[in-house]
C-alpha cells in the first residue's frame, strides 16, 4: 500500500515538473517554451508545422523576457540571419538523408532569471513532393 502511494506521488511530481517545460506544437507552425513570465516561440513562416528537406524555410524565434544576444540556437541546417527587437530571424535548410529520423531537434540555450536554461523543439521534416 505504501509503495503504490509512493509510486503514484512520484509519477504526479514528474508530470507536474514536465508541464512547465513542454514543447507545444500546433498546426499553425508555432513551437513554444514558457517558464514563468519568460519564453521563446519559434514560428515557421510558411504556415506549416513542419519543414521540407532541401528547401530554405524562414523562421522567427520570438523571445519574451530573454536576451536573444546571450542565447544560442543549435540544429542542422540553421542559419541565423539577424537578431533585432527580441526576434531572431533564421533560415532552415536541411539536406535530405542527413538525419537519422524525419525530425529536426532544435536545441535552445539561454539565461532565464539568472539561471542557464535549455529546451528543445522537435520539428518534423517532410520530403518534397
Closest CA to 74 of 7, 113, 17, 120: 120
Q: What is the mean pLDDT of residues 99-110?
A: 95
The residue with cell 527587437 is 85
How far apart CA 69 and CA 100 sit, in angstroms, is 31
The pTM for the full model equals 0.77
**What are the residues facing 26 on neighbouring strands?**
none
* Residue 56 CB neighbour total at 10 angstroms: 12
Structural domains in the chain, CATH included, are: 23-126 (2.60.40.10)
Residue 21, pLDDT above cutoff 90: no
Residue predicted with more confidence, 5 or 76: 76
Mean of pLDDT over the chain: 83
pLDDT at 20 over 50: no
Q: If pLDDT is split at 50, 70 and 90, which confidence band does 105 have?
A: very high
Amino acid at each position: 500500500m505504501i509503495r503504490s502511494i509512493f509510486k503514484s506521488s512520484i509519477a504526479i511530481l514528474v508530470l507536474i515538473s514536465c508541464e512547465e517545460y513542454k514543447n507545444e506544437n500546433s498546426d499553425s507552425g508555432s513551437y513554444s517554451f514558457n517558464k514563468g513570465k519568460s519564453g521563446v516561440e519559434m514560428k515557421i513562416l510558411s504556415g506549416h508545422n513542419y519543414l521540407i528537406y532541401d528547401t530554405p524555410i524562414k523562421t522567427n524565434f520570438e523571445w519574451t523576457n530573454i536576451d536573444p544576444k546571450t542565447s544560442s540556437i543549435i540544429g542542422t541546417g540553421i542559419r541565423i540571419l539577424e537578431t533585432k527587437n527580441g526576434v531572431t530571424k533564421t533560415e532552415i535548410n536541411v539536406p535530405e538523408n542527413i538525419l537519422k529520423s524525419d525530425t529536426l531537434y532544435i536545441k535552445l540555450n539561454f539565461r532565464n532569471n539568472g539561471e542557464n536554461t535549455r529546451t528543445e523543439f522537435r520539428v518534423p521534416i517532410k520530403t518534397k513532393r
